[in-house]
Amino acid sequence: MRAAQRRLAVRFDEAVWREAVRGFSRQPLEIATSARSEAERRGIALAAVIPCEPLGPDGTALAGCAKLYLPAGDDPPSERPFAFVLQLARERDSTLVWVFVAFGHRHPRARVRSVYERAHRQLHGRFPEQS
Amino acid sequence: MSESPDESVEQLEDLLDGASRTLSSLQALNAGQAERVAERMDRLASQLLEISPPPAMEAVHARLGTTPAISEDFASAVDEMGVADGEG
């Protein structure tokens, strides 16, 4: 199999998932739920994700993470306003997997946290400006 | 008198639950109404994140039986990923 076609399984922790989707309205909730089902069924190809900036312009520190634009499909990024942030991890038998970290808007309105800020909080326990 | 963080979290969770229930009970919303409700819910959800701690990542990995990959693993996987776009 070509390396570019490699797919990794995705692990979802229920506490993280509940918090990640809490409060979203129907449409984004459906997008997130559908993406999770697909990810659990088929995994996520390395080629389908984009590496996160280790240190983003908004102060987010997401080294070791990648993002999957949603809804899934071939639409241009501008028409995929949501994302999962996933952390690369190893299972006990050394298999590489994705661990789900956050879901949310890529470019939210004012006073709404972006998926990158949400991921930073999940990984580091607080938002970037609170560090 | 200010509320305790627990009380504030409970209040926000109640608000979000109420908004979700209301939304589910409505048969149809026009686009503008749906957008307004979604905006409010997004803001409430963000407010809730400000005052409640996330599940600790160490405990998350323990439950899943995983450990974060080392940077060398990630560096070699990046070659197979899409091109970084400078966002996030």
pLDDT digits (tens, 9 = 90+) for A104-120: 999 988 889 999 999 99
Q: Is the pLDDT of residue A102 over 90?
A: yes
Residues 63-102 of A with CB under 8 A from B: 63-64, 66-67, 77, 83, 85, 87-92, 96-97, 99
* Nearest to A58, CA basis, from A131, A121, A119, A116: A116
- pLDDT tens digit sequence for B43-70: 888 888 888 889 999 999 999 999 999 9
The CATH number for A80's domain is 3.30.2310.20
Q: What is the domain extent for residue A61? A: 3-130
In chain B, which residues have their Cβ closer than 8 Å to the Cβ of A6? 80
B11/chain A closest Cα distance in angstroms: 13
Measured distance CA(A11)–CA(B77) in Å, rounded: 18
pLDDT in tens, A52-85: 999 998 999 999 999 999 998 888 888 899 999 9
- How far apart are the CA of B69 and the nearest CA of chain A, in angstroms? 4
- Among the partner residues A11, A23, A83, nearest to B64 by beta-carbon distance: A11
Give the chain A residue whose CA is nearest to the CA of B57.
A123
Q: Does A127 touch chain B (CB under 8 A)?
A: yes
pLDDT at A109: 85
Please, which contacts does A28-31 make with residues 24 or more away whose CB atoms are closer than 8 Å?
A28/A82, A28/A103, A28/A105, A28/B38, A31/A70, A31/A71, A31/A82
Taking a C-beta distance cutoff of 8 angstroms, is the pair A36, A12 a contact?
yes
Q: What is the pLDDT of residues A33-48, one digit of tens each?
A: 999 999 999 999 999 9
Average pLDDT, chain B: 82
**Span B9-30, pLDDT tens digits:** 787 778 777 777 776 666 566 7
Nearest residue of chain A to residue B20 (CA atoms)? A25
In chain A, the number of structural domains is: 1
Whether the pLDDT of residue A128 is over 60: the answer is: yes
pLDDT of A1 reads: 47
Which residues of chain B make contact with A53, given a CB cutoff of 8 A? 84, 86-88
pTM for the model = 0.87
CB contact under 8 A, A111 and B65: no
Per-residue pLDDT at B2: 59
Q: Identify the CA nearest to A113 among candidates A13, A45, A20, A8.
A: A20
CA angle A60, A97, A129 (to 5 degrees): 10
Q: Which residue has the higher pLDDT, A91 or B37?
A: A91
Q: What is the pLDDT of residue B49?
A: 87
Q: What's the whole-number mean pLDDT along residues A15-19?
A: 95
Among B48, B71, B77, beta carbon nearest to A23 = B48
ipTM given for this complex: 0.91
